[in-house]
Amino acid sequence: MSLPPAKISNSIGGKRAIAAMATMRLAVDRRTTTLLIGHSGGGVAAIHAAYLLMKSESRSNCLVVMIGSPKCRIPQELRPSVLSISAAGTRKRANDAEGKSPDLVSRLGTHGGWMRTRHNEINNHSAFRNGFPAWHKHKHAPAAMRTVPIIGGHADYFRDSSSYVNSSGSSNLDITLDAILSWLIQWNQTSFR
């Protein structure tokens, strides 16, 4: 899951995604934007495929949506083009303010990494004044992360039957697609591709 960018070329899922795209794709202009959407481990494979496409210069813009995917290291140059979606927290414990996501898979892994800190950056603690390493939990995180209030858990993001429709009349599929579409609209308005 957490392949460093230098080793993403070894990604089995990323290579398979690119091979599948190559067999289905007609001649496409390099200037077009490719949108890769992956659920669970497919989100990690989509990250790897997007990075490989960018490095091979066969795609100028590659957007990735990870749905219910484990956290993984997102290459720095890809971070602005990645959306991570997970189920909104509903499992509450006495000391939890927000509650934990019912999607256990999206709670696996980490976006974190070690960074040297600057003087007085962390709580003015003297141990960090000399640039000692500190753990930053969002160092390799995507630029956009959304939680969606779906009914159910990991397998239920795309359900649209009556059991998965909320009191407002929106199905899990509607809620998931709304999160993707709002991010795409925001990305299109703020990006100068």
The pLDDT tens digits for 56-100 are 866 668 899 999 999 999 999 999 999 999 998 765 555 555 667
CA distances from 159 to 57, 96, 153, 154, 164 (A): 36, 28, 11, 11, 6
Q: What is the pLDDT of residue 26?
A: 47
Q: What is the pLDDT of residue 14?
A: 72
What pLDDT, in 10s, does the model give residues 103-116? 888 888 888 888 88
Mean pLDDT computed over every residue of the chain: 81
Query: 109-113, 125-129, 162-166: which has the highest mean pLDDT?
Result: 162-166
Predicted structure pTM score: 0.77
Q: Provide DSSP, 82-137.
A: EEEEEEPP-B--TT-SS-B-S-SGGGSB---EEEEPPTT-STT-GGGTT--EEEET
> Which residues face 39 on adjacent strands?
67
Q: What is the pLDDT of residue 191?
A: 72
Query: Domains (ranges, CATH) in the chain?
Result: 5-111+140-190 (3.40.50)
